[in-house]
Amino acid sequence: ESIVRLCVSAFTTSEIDEGKALLFKSISTTQRNISRRKNKEQKDIEDIICTFKNTDPEKTPIFVARELRKLPPVTFDHVDVSRLLKDIIILQTEVKHIKESYATLEQLQCIKSESEDLRYASLINVADFNVNKRRGA
């Protein structure tokens, strides 16, 4: 009901007629394109919605808006909350994975300082160079 009111208020009678005619021309359906007299715009929108509901999604053409300024604004009343919830769950999972698998700044600094220490540390023990280890003592 709210989508019907939204469409009737946002589009002219001729735009609704053109849209309905294009839809029925694009889809092979058993539903007839009925010309309405009383409450024409509202009933035409209901026919369009019914046609979309009764048509196989694989056979439904994809329509796009040519003039975006004519589209009604989207408010929180018209947002698909279940889709938002799924997206939030996916984001939470990805953030959790990042937290578990990525190094922290402290770990990175620790590795950096260890590599600096190793670079300056002597790899050969100089004190043992002058000792004769083959001697019997």
For residue range 54-111, list pLDDT tens digits in order: 888 888 888 888 888 877 777 777 677 888 899 999 999 999 999 999 988 999 999 9
CA-CA distance, 82 to 57, in Å (whole number)? 20
Residues 53 and 108 grouped into a single domain:
no
Residue 92: in which H helix or E strand, if any? helix 81-101
| Domain identity same for 123 and 56 | no
Shared domain check, 73 and 8: yes
Specify whether 6 is located in the same domain as 73: yes
Last residue of a domain, one of 55, 78, 101: 78
> What's the CA gap between 109 and 22, in Å, rounded?
64
Report d(CA 114, CA 108) in Å as an integer. 10
91: phi then psi, degrees, rounded to nearest 5: -60, -40
Residue 10: predicted pLDDT: 84
Please indicate, yes or no, if residue 134 is contained in any of the structural domains.
Answer: no
pTM (2 d.p.): 0.48
Q: Mark whether 87 and 121 lie in a shared domain.
A: yes
Average of per-residue pLDDT across 25-33: 73
> 9 lies in which domain range?
2-78
Same domain? 64 vs 110 = no
